[in-house]
Amino acid sequence: MLRRNLVALLLVAALPAVATETPATDLARKAAADWLLLIDSGNLAGSWEQAASSFKRAVTTQQWVQASAAVRTPLGTSKQRQETTAKFTRTLPGAPDGQYVLLQFQAAFENKASAVETVTVALDTDGTWRVAGYFIK
């Protein structure tokens, strides 16, 4: 009996982790979409204003505008964005425990046919889901 339970436990442990859809995922998705519209329209200062408090503590408005313009401007206009991954987690490396949703998008731009955008959305201190990180490669 113990051996059968141990085998069942090992089989369950070997299954890949699958992120489930949650209300948090939907709220984070909406926050990311609204924020990405600001980025796509060139409103980089506005994207900083709408970002999570942790984002604002990490970088000033001027630093964000300069850094994001240096990355996004050469790509040209956004042509397409398709979500490929949405994962809810309570832990992230280098961040305090909290509630996060990691979203990845396959994207295409005017001057770059294929890119991957990663948007980290966090439940902020006021209870609102906001973008806490953005990476593109």
- What's the CATH code of the domain at 83? 3.10.450.100
How many other β-carbons are positioned within 10 Å of the β-carbon of residue 18? Answer: 6
| pLDDT of res. 21 | 67
Structural domain contains residue 90: yes
Structural domain contains residue 12: no
Structural domain contains residue 88: yes
Instruction: Give tens-digit pLDDT for 36-86.
Output: 999 999 999 999 999 999 999 999 999 999 999 999 999 999 999 999 999
Structural domain contains residue 129: yes
| pLDDT of res. 20 | 53
Of 17, 12, 16, 32, nearest to 130 (Cα)? 32
Structural domain contains residue 98: yes
Q: Which residue has the higher pLDDT, 7 or 76?
A: 76
Contact between 111 and 42 under an 8 Å Cβ cutoff? The reply is no
Q: How many whole angstroms separate alpha carbon 135 and alpha carbon 90? A: 20
Please, what sign has the CA dihedral across residues 118, 124, 127, 131? Answer: negative
Domain count, the chain: 1
Structural domain contains residue 11: no
Structural domain contains residue 1: no
Q: Indicate the SS3 state at residue 80.
A: strand
Tokens of 15: 């299954």
How many other β-carbons are positioned within 10 Å of the β-carbon of residue 63? Answer: 11
**% of the chain at pLDDT higher than 90:** 81
Rounded to two decimals, the pTM is 0.82
Q: How many whole angstroms separate alpha carbon 117 and alpha carbon 81? A: 9
Owning domain of residue 68: 21-136
Of 36, 48, 53, 32, nearest to 96 (Cα)? 53
